[in-house]
């Protein structure tokens, strides 16, 4: 604390330019000057802010490390006359390539240690603090996922209440790569259990929050965390309507932030999507519309294409058309029947043989159309596939499996239904009736012919099993690493009265076989924002060989 027992701190989240320390240094200098002008005694910047935290293996490169060191020296010289202590993150050489380091700058000089505070870098909030610790400065770079922010705030409230310390949590935000995650800039200041300052998350510019730390602040007992039920049949979908609404809003914000950053980085004019009238493409279109709204861009630059084929039903075709019209996008219809029939002729495939070739040829034709339209309009193809389909491999390799950026890859089917229903009521009233009917439409890839009345005949859940079971299996296998026999027992308890043990066992075996055998599709999947605790991206979330065998897991059920 200062001599008066009062200290003003600033947590600064700068807009970051990846692997450009000189440009980042200029922004840090500008923001440090602004914070000092507001009377800040200590000015904290996020982890690896001189390079960007998402540079990956580039952080091991001596060239980038040296550029970061020189940029830190530039900052030190520029802030020498501010009268404030500046703390910022940068990579430093270490065994293994690099370590996440921090520079503490006072009066233009680097100091190895400041007795006024404890310095923390990295993802984890400590469970306890050393004695005589009164102030913690935490430089962080943590991907934003649903519920994380609430848990982070609870942890900081409890830690600072118990220890009596003040805690400045300063986290990375806009400009970090959104390849498989979104960085929301969730900076916080707590003292003795009280929240003193909180940054606006998902900002698209630099931001600063201030707090005055006072030794006389009274402690406030933090609220106890809610205890979840022992076995929840739908672990991805909160049962409390208010919690569900908050969850849907937060997921949409993460999806929008990821797509917005990618569109700005690529500098493309349009976003191109295939619209089937089903859940996946519907949510992707809603995310894209919300993204364009946030950018102030005309929705007419969203090119939404419905591509009716041999299995397109009257209901989904109508819903696709009505949705595009309600949202005011550039709606296009390109039937694929003639092109696919020509392709069958070219490869000598009998069109009466409705096998996997018959189905996949349609999916690949649609992807080709979208990619070529994107090329022709300076656009980016937005992928629509969801987490449940990715887990099961229920997608056509290099068909709907592929896109330039995919926004639903971390949203399971059960949660997607809840999100579209929520969006119909709360965010897109102009399309409410259509959205609610889409939620109620049977899930289908619509790749085999419809019945004589134009209705869906190919229903996904008849083929692979109920999505609510698969989402349950996925959650417990990946999130908690439970063995299959334990998952089976939990599912039987959770779905008592709806599915008996034989049914659960049947679909669990199907799930395990598909989950492991389809890893090769996930190994080369497009990038997209992470939104939850279960993620199957091969880039740091779920690492597994494409040739892995499922036999060990399946045998656990015998």
pLDDT tens digits, one per residue of 98-133: 999 999 999 999 987 777 789 999 889 999 999 888
Give me the sign of the Cα torsion angle 405, 411, 415, 417. Answer: positive
Tell me which range, 2-6, 80-84, 370-374, is most confidently predicted by mean pLDDT.
370-374
The H or E element containing residue 30 is helix 21-37
CA dist 260 and 256 (Å) reads 6
Over residues 276-314, the pLDDT tens digits come to 999 999 999 999 999 999 999 999 999 999 999 998 899
Q: Given this model, what pLDDT does residue 460 score?
A: 73
Fill in the DSSP letter of residue 377: T
**pLDDT score, position 391:** 96
**More confident of the two residues 62 and 455:** 62
pLDDT band for position 258 (cuts 50, 70, 90) = very high
**What is the mean pLDDT of the segment spanning 243-249?**
95
Q: Could you give the CA distance from residue 1 to residue 32 in angstroms, rounded to a whole number?
A: 20
In 3D, which of 31, 105, 35, 102 has the Cα closest to residue 68?
Answer: 102
When mean pLDDT is compared across 110-119, 316-325, 338-347, the lowest value belongs to 110-119
Distances (CA, A) of 386 to 8, 84, 258, 429: 45, 48, 16, 24
Threshold 0.75, pTM exceeds: yes
The pLDDT confidence band at residue 461, using thresholds 50, 70 and 90, is: confident
| More confident position, 212 or 456 | 212
Length of the chain: 558
| 133: its two tokens | 């610790």
**Distance of alpha carbon 202 from alpha carbon 283, whole angstroms:** 20
Contacting residues for 38 by C-beta, under 8 A, at least 6 apart: 8, 10, 208, 210
Where does residue 345 rank: exposed (0-12), middle (13-18), buried (19+ CB within 10 A)? exposed
Q: What distances in angstroms separate CA 442 from CA 233, 316, 523, one per listed residue?
A: 20, 10, 29
Q: Show the tokens assigned to 368.
A: 């080709």
pLDDT of residue 222: 43
pLDDT at residue 101, as a whole number: 93
At 458 the pLDDT is: 64
- Angle of helix 62-78 versus helix 21-37 axis, rounded to 10: 30
Using CA atoms, how far apart are residues 558 and 390, in angstroms rounded to an integer?
A: 26
Mean pLDDT of 325-335: 98
Measured from the Cβ of residue 350, the count of other Cβ atoms closer than 10 Å reads: 10
- Average pLDDT, whole number, for the chain? 92
Residues in CB range of 80: below 8 A, 6 or more apart: 107, 108, 109
Q: Does 344 or 448 have the greater pLDDT score? A: 344
Least confident piece of the model among 84-93, 225-234, 343-352? 225-234
Name the token pair of 443. Answer: 């899930």
Angstrom distance (rounded) from CA 320 to CA 191: 52
Span 218-227, average pLDDT: 41
Of 265-274, 442-451, 522-531, the one with minimum mean pLDDT is 442-451
CATH 3.40.50.2300, domain 6-214, yes or no: no
Q: Beta partners for 304?
A: 273, 331
Each domain of the chain, given as residue ranges in start order, spans 6-214, 241-555
pLDDT band at 27 (very low <50, low <70, confident <90, very high): very high
Strand 109-111, strand 118-121: pairing? unpaired
Residue 115 — φ and ψ, nearest 5°? -65, -10
Judge whether residue 217 has pLDDT over 50: no
Q: What secondary structure, in 3-state letters, does 465-480 show?
A: CCHHHHHHHHHHHHHC
Report the C-alpha gap between 226 and 172 in whole angstroms: 28
DSSP 239-273: SSHHHHHHHHHHHHHHHHHHHHHHHHHHT-SEEEE
| CA dihedral of 107, 113, 117, 123, whole degrees rounded to 10 | 110
CATH code reported for the domain at 241-555 = 3.40.50.620
Residue 215 binned pLDDT confidence (cut-offs 50, 70, 90) = low
Return d(Cα 461, Cα 477) in angstroms, integer: 20
The phi, psi pair for 106, rounded to 5°, reads: -135, 125
Please, are residues 304 and 331 in contact by the beta-carbon 8 Å criterion?
yes
Give residue 406's pLDDT.
96
For 377, other C-beta atoms within 10 Å of its C-beta total 16
Instruction: Count CA atoms closer than 13 A to 467's CA, side-chain side.
Output: 23
Give the integer Cα–Cα distance in Å for 353 and 22. Answer: 61
Closest CA to 105 of 93, 90, 94: 90
Asked if the model's pLDDT at residue 135 lies above 60, the reply is yes
Please state, as a whole number, how many other Cβ atoms lie within 10 Å of the Cβ of residue 265. Answer: 12
Judge whether 6-214 and 241-555 match in fold: no
| CA proximity to 532, closest of 255, 133, 164 | 255
């Amino acid at each position: 604390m200062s001599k008066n027992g009062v200290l003003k701190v600033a947590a600064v989240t700068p807009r970051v330019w990846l692997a450009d320390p000189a440009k980042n240094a200029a922004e840090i200098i500008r923001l440090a000057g602004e914070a000092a002008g507001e009377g800040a005694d200590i000015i904290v910047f996020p982890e690896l802010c001189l390079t960007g935290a998402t540079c990956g293996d580039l952080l091991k490169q001596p060239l980038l490390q040296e550029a970061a060191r020189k940029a830190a020296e530039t900052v030190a010289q520029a802030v020498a006359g501010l009268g404030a202590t500046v703390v910022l993150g940068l990579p430093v050489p270490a065994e293994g390539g690099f370590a996440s380091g921090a520079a503490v700058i006072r009066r233009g000089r680097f100091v190895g240690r400041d007795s006024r505070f404890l310095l923390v870098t990295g993802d984890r909030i400590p469970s306890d603090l050393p004695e005589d610790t009164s102030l913690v400065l935490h430089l962080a770079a943590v991907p934003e996922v649903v519920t994380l922010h609430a848990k982070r705030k609870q942890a900081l409230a409890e830690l600072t209440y118990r220890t009596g310390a003040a805690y400045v949590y300063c986290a990375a935000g806009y400009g970090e790569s959104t390849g498989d995650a979104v960085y929301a800039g969730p900076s916080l200041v707590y003292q003795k259990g009280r929240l003193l300052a909180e940054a606006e998350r998902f900002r698209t510019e630099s931001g600063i929050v201030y707090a005055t730390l006072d030794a006389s602040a009274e402690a406030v007992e933090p609220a106890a965390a809610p205890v979840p039920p022992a076995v929840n049949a739908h672990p991805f979908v909160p049962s409390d309507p208010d919690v569900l609404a908050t969850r849907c809003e937060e997921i949409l914000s993460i999806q929008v932030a990821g797509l917005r950053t990618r569109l700005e980085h690529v500098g493309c004019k349009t976003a191109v999507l295939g619209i089937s009238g089903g859940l996946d493409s519907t949510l992707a279109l809603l995310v894209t519309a919300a993204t364009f709204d946030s950018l102030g861009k005309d929705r007419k630059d969203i090119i939404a294409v419905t591509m009716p084929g041999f299995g397109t039903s009257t209901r989904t075709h109508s819903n696709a058309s009505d949705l595009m019209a309600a949202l005011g996008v550039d709606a296009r219809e390109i039937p694929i029947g003639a092109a696919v029939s020509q392709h069958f002729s070219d490869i000598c495939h009998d069109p009466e043989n409705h096998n996997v070739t018959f189905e996949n040829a349609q999916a690949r034709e649609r992807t080709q159309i979208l990619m070529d339209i994107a090329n022709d309009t300076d656009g980016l193809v937005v992928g629509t596939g969801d987490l449940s389909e990715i887990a099961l491999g229920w997608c056509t390799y290099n068909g709907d499996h592929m896109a330039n950026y995919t926004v639903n890859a971390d949203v399971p089917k059960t949660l997607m239904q809840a999100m579209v229903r929520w969006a119909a009521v709360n965010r897109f009233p102009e399309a409410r009736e259509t959205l609610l009917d889409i939620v109620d439409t049977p899930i289908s890839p619509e790749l085999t012919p419809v019945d004589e009345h134009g209705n869906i005949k190919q229903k996904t859940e008849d083929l692979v099993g109920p999505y609510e079971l698969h989402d349950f299996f996925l959650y417990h296998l990946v999130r908690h690493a439970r063995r299959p026999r334990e998952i089976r027992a939990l599912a039987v308890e959770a779905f008592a009265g709806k599915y008996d043990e034989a049914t659960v066992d049947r679909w669990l075996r199907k799930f395990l076989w598909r989950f492991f055998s389809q890893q090769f599709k996930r190994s080369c999947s497009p990038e997209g924002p992470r939104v939850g605790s279960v993620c199957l991206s091969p880039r740091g979330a779920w690492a597994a060989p494409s040739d892995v065998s499922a036999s060990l897991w399946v045998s656990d059920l015998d």
